[in-house]
Copies of this chain bind each other. A is one copy, B any other.
Amino acid sequence: MILPLWSGIMSALKTQADLAQTLPFAPPTTLVFDGFIASYNELIGPLFNSILFTSIATILSCLLGSICGFVVAKLKFRGSNTVFLLLTIGIFLPYQSIIIPLFITIRNLGIYDSLWVMVLVHTIYGIPMTTLLFRSYYESIPESLFKAAKVDGAGIMTIYQRIILPLSPLPFVVAGVFQFTSIWNDYLFALTLTNINFEPASFALSNIAGSTETAWNNVMAGSFLYSLPVIIIFVLLGKYLMQGLMAGAVKG
């Protein structure tokens, strides 16, 4: 895992000629940024698009997942098993089996190839996973806390805002990072539901790889640029992410 990453960065810093002569993981003989400049120009627009819809969809799916998770975990009701079944199916359902009818629906709605279609699709598709994550965390919050808050005079909304939400930073990090990376990495929705008007970065990157047949340095630099937001998020939130994953409460 480390080796391909390393040779990717090395390749990105090489000239075309250098690339042909040296081993992938050897450092470049002359350091050049041609690859970065070329791919930067091609990727900057799509990267901006991706950051936009990924962030919005991440935040929305986490918030909605937190609310749904609270409802499923703490407000037991009839049919909660059915809800759980639907969530499970929602997580494991193959994209491919719904992508084409979805495509037709989206076309008919007239939001094809826009920011909103990506936000909408990813938010909805993300909710089952985030709900499950938040649910498992909220299950571990002792029942007595809810009872105490009720007896202390709080209604459901107050309990959510003043007790549940302040206790949720760790699951928000876990669900957030999970959602961000999987939306960021998505290729299939990007391929099907967007075109040149609102091109996401994952799709644009594969165009670089496809068009400039052997310009590996460009491709490598593009890959690196593409990975950068995820890496930044990791550096910023990695500590909390690991805490969240290791905590008894919210698990893998």
Contacts and interface: CB of A to CB of B under 8 A. Distances in A.
A238 B85 contact: yes
Interface stretch (A56-64, A130-138, A153-161): A130-138
Given A102-B4, A241-B88, A252 B97 contact: no
Contact of A248 (B8, B139, B252): B139
A5 B220 contact: no
Contacts of A90: 1
Copies of this chain, whole number = 2
Given A98-B5, A226-B94, A104 B136 contact: no
A230 B94 CA distance: 8
Interface in A1-23: 1, 3-5, 7-8, 11
A132 B252 contact: yes
A242 interface: yes
Interface string A80-105: 01001110111011111111111011
Interface stretch (A29-37, A111-119, A143-151, A182-190): A182-190
Nearest to A216: B100
Given A230-B94, A234-B89, A252 B136 contact: yes
A220 to B, nearest CB: 7
Contacts of A124: 1
A90 B85 CA distance: 29
Given A129-B252, A178-B92, A251-B250, A98 B8 contact: yes
A234 B133 CA distance: 20
Interface in A231-252: 234, 238, 241-242, 245-246, 248, 250-252
Given A178-B92, A251-B251, A224 B97 contact: yes
Nearest to A129: B252
A193 interface: no
A85 B237 CA distance: 12
Contact of A181 (B24, B92, B219): B92
A101 B221 CA distance: 12
Question: Would you list the 4 A-B pairs with minimal beta carbon distance, nearest first?
Answer: A97-B227, A132-B252, A4-B101, A136-B251
10 contacts: A1-B89, A5-B97, A5-B101, A8-B100, A24-B104, A97-B227, A100-B223, A187-B187, A250-B251, A252-B252
